Amino acid sequence: MSGITLQTVRKEFETGEEHIVAVDDVDLEIRDGEFLVLVGPSGCGKTTTLRCIAGLEDVTDGTIAFGDDDVTDLRARERDVAMVFQNYALYPHMNVRENIGMGLKLSSSMTSAEIDAKVEDVAELLGIEPLLAKKPKELSGGQQQRVALGRAIVRDPEAFLMDEPLSNLDAKLRAQMRTELQTLQHDLDVTTVYVTHDQTEAMAMGDRIAIMDGGELQQVGTAEEVYRTPVNEFVADFIGSPSINTFDATVEGATLHGPGGFEYTLDDPSPVEGHDTVRVGIRPEDMTLVDDGVAIETTVLEPMGNENFLYATMGEEELTLRVVPSARPSPGDTVDFAFDEDSLYLFDALTSEALKTKT
């Protein structure tokens, strides 16, 4: 077992008329035994990065190492990683036992009795022992996904590479499999790179989260780090649900002037020194309704049971607030909100880099 190190990994595609930089000089160190989640919007380069690690794509530039071994020039079958995809592509004519044992049959010198024993161990681990004689079409989606996992686990690989493996499952099963996968990964202690576009899944599952945008790695950190101290507005916006509220404000000394009647004087103006305008960020969960604060106009109230989502306008800006269930303003009502300076985010208006995050 080992960690995985990407050094300025670059992958470009030529499609005749188009030149695409799918992975743009990514530096990333995945620790031995770590569950790292690679997350970002569709098309940001997650799958390509994973395929480069697997050896399914040649990198245009940069190096990939497993532990101390440079594997950049090794082909996929020489890298000893196991991949699990969204479309888990089980062999339809084979039963579960044969599907799980297939890789061992092809790549190891084990006897069929040894393979059988190993397959049964893995099936027991995944709770699919009773299904060993069944064909894929006789299984539910969740069971099929377990078989696909079994096929990966049975080989004792150096690393698991998973590309949106749960996205074909319904919400409830997905939540259950998330937990199971995490437990399994921690028990097996195998370095894992898990790709998803779903930030909630990323936050829930990852030991650390690597956030990509436009082929570039934006930030790597624990869920708490990327939530509290995003490096830029993209990360702040991508992490957290509902998304952070952001708007432009002009700076006058220590005072921020925003849309509608927004006006706030900073106790500590040092982050905005030298800036004429900044981007202000306030998370929906950091806003409370008060008698005398920033006035906004209610558009919609969405009751969520234990809290309410309040959608409102502040001048031209649309805001989302998470408020206590007892707060029930009607559409058109003016309400006031307040927030703590500790929870305020500020970003450079040009570069979008963070000037201030949560303290």
Whole-Å CA distances, 89 to 84, 99, 121? 9, 10, 22
Q: How far is the CB of 21 from ligand ADP (least distance, A)?
A: 8
Cross-strand bridge partners of residue 11: 23
The answer to the question of residue 17 lying near ligand ADP (CB under 6 A) is no
Binds ligand ADP by CB under 6 A, chosen from 3, 45, 101, 240? 45
Q: Are 36 and 26 in contact (CB under 8 A)?
A: no
Quick check: 13 binds ligand ADP (CB under 6 A)?
yes
Cβ distance to Mg ion smaller for residue 86 or 245: 86
User: Total number of residues binding ligand ADP (CB under 6 A)?
Assistant: 12
Q: Binding of ligand ADP at residue 42 (CB under 6 A)?
A: yes
Helix axes 171-188, 141-153, angle to 10 degrees: 20
Write the CB contacts of 1 (distance below 8 Å, at least 6 apart in sequence).
32, 33, 158, 189, 190, 191
Reading the block at residue 289, the tokens are 């309704």
Ramachandran sector of residue 148 (left: φ over 0; alpha: ψ -120 to 50; beta: rest): alpha
- Tell me whether residue 45 or residue 136 sits nearer to ligand ADP (CB atom): 45
3 Ramachandran zone, left/alpha/beta (phi>0; psi -120 to 50): beta
Q: Is 44 in the site for ligand ADP (CB under 6 A)?
A: yes
| Residue 161 engages ligand ADP in binding (rule: CB under 6 A) | no
Distance in angstroms (rounded) separating the CA atoms of residues 63 and 81: 17
> Judged by CB under 6 A, which of 15, 111, 326, 330 binds ligand ADP?
15
Per-position x/- string for 332-351, each x denoting binding to ligand ADP as judged by CB under 6 A, each - no binding: --------------------
How far is the CA of 237 from the CAs of 42, 255, 337, in angstroms? 15, 24, 20
> Given strand 245-252, what is the order of strands in its sheet?
263-265, 255-257, 245-252, 277-282, 345-348, 354-356
208 binds, among ligand ADP, Mg ion, none (CB under 5 to 8 A by kind): none
Q: How far is the CB of 41 from ligand ADP (least distance, A)?
A: 7
Minimum Å gap between C-beta 292 and Mg ion is 48
Q: For residues 22 and 220, which CB has a smaller minimum distance to ligand ADP in the complex?
A: 22
List the one residue out of 345, 337, 343, 340 whose CA is nearest residue 262: 337
Q: Determine which residue in the list 22, 231, 296, 310 makes contact with ligand ADP, applying CB under 6 A.
A: 22
> Of 37-45, 175-183, 293-301, 319-327, which part binds ligand ADP (CB under 6 A)?
37-45
Q: Tell me: does residue 46 bind ligand ADP (CB under 6 A).
A: yes
CA separation for the pair 225, 216 (Å, rounded): 19
Instruction: Enumerate residues 28-67 that contact Mg ion by CB under 5 A.
Output: 47
Beta carbon of residue 192, minimum distance to ligand ADP (angstroms, whole number): 17
Binding site for ligand ADP (CB under 6 A): 13, 15, 20, 22, 40, 42-48
Binding site for Mg ion (CB under 5 A): 47
